[in-house]
Structure formats: structure tokens, C-alpha cells
Amino acid sequence: MAEVLLFHHAYGLTDGVRAFAGRLRAAGHTVHLADLYEGRVFGSLDEGAEYAAATGFDTLTARGAAAADRLPAGLVLAGISLGVVPAQRLARSRPGARGALLLEACLPGPAAGGPWPPGLPVQVHGMDRDPFFAGEGDLDAARALTGAAPHGELFLYPGDRHLFTDSGLPGYDEAAAELVCRRAVDFLDRLG
């Protein structure tokens, strides 16, 4: 089975992120959670985004790299929204990475640290009308990334919600989140 390092979204390491990790664990995978916010959890997306901006994405990425450094090689790097930043950057730079699972965000090549490693599998999930994913260029970046990666998959879900995979947030979409989870487990099964 696959070993995964999962990075949370802008709210922090919420119960919904923990629940998603639990679903992957229940399917037989090892999932480690990185806390980029050092214990902080925010009550709104705006508060979390303000904290992330004040902390700086380089600092958050460094915290993510430190979490990865404590784990063995051969990780699948996974992130939800903001967590895609360290996940995607580490997938490109960490020797021995097995794959990347990117939920509700995707960085364009230059922002993610350069070209995608040859042969590294990637799976991206997002809603087709999510104002952040579809409206801010992430969908275009996901199409470019998955189109260029030999083992790239892009899954779009109908809707306009952001953070639809977190069962504790208002944007949660149970049917779409269930499908994301099934597809993610299939992806991890193939990598394991």
C-alpha cells in the first residue's frame, strides 16, 4: 500500500481533513498529516488565508519539507487547496516521490518549481465552477500538468464549491467527496 503525506487547506488541520485521511487509511494506506499552521485552526477561509499570507508560502513550504524529511522516501505527496503548494513543490523536488494527489488546486509549472518529473503520476480533482479552482487559473494549470504527465488524471465535478472534500465545512459535497475518495484510493492502490 502507498505511504502518503497530506497537507491541509487554509482553515488548518480540521476534523474534515482528518476524516479524509481516515478514509484513505481505512482503504489500507498509511497517511501522515502535516500541520503547516503549528496547531492553529481558523473559523473562516479568510482568516486562514490571512494567516498563510502573513506567514508566507515559503515558510509554509519549508514546514512541509520538514515534515517530509522525517518520513521515508517513496511518499505520495497530497494536498487540499493551500496544501497543494507544498505537495506539488515537494513532488517535483523530493527524490523518490511516488506521485502527487492534488485536491482543489494546482500550481502552474513556474510557481511549482519547474517542469514535472518524467513518469511521476499525478491526479488532480476540482469543481468545474469553483471560483478558486476554475476561476483563478488552477484548472488551466491542472489541464497542462495532467496533459503533459504520462500518468496524469484530471477529474472535474459539477459545482461551484471550494473545499468540497472537507466534511466539516459549509462547502462539503458528500457525493462529490465520496467520488474523490474512491478515485484517490484507486490511484494510491496503483502506486502501492
pLDDT per residue as tens digits for the range 5-55: 999 999 999 999 999 999 999 999 999 999 999 999 999 999 999 999 999
Residue in the structure block whose three cell numbers are 474534515: 16
| Residue 153: Cβ-neighbour burial (10 angstroms; 0-12, 13-18, 19+) | middle
Query: Do residues 63 and 44 touch, judged by C-beta distance below 8 A?
Result: no
Residue in the structure block whose three cell numbers are 478515485: 183
**Phi–psi pair at 165, nearest 5 degrees:** -95, -5
Query: Do residues 25 and 31 touch, judged by C-beta distance below 8 A?
Result: yes
For the record, the C-alpha cell of 118 comes out as 518524467
For the record, the C-alpha cell of 126 comes out as 476540482
Residue 159: C-alpha distances to residues 45, 129, 172, 173 (Å): 18, 6, 11, 9
For the entire predicted model, the pTM comes to 0.96
Mean pLDDT, to the nearest integer, of 134-151?
A: 92
pLDDT at 115: 81
Q: What would the pLDDT profile of 150-174 be if each residue is shown by its tens digit?
A: 789 999 999 999 999 999 999 999 9
Across the chain, what does the average pLDDT equal?
95
Return the amino acid letter for 7.
F
The full set of domains in the chain, from first to last, is 3-191 (3.40.50.1820)
Percent of the chain with pLDDT over 90: 90
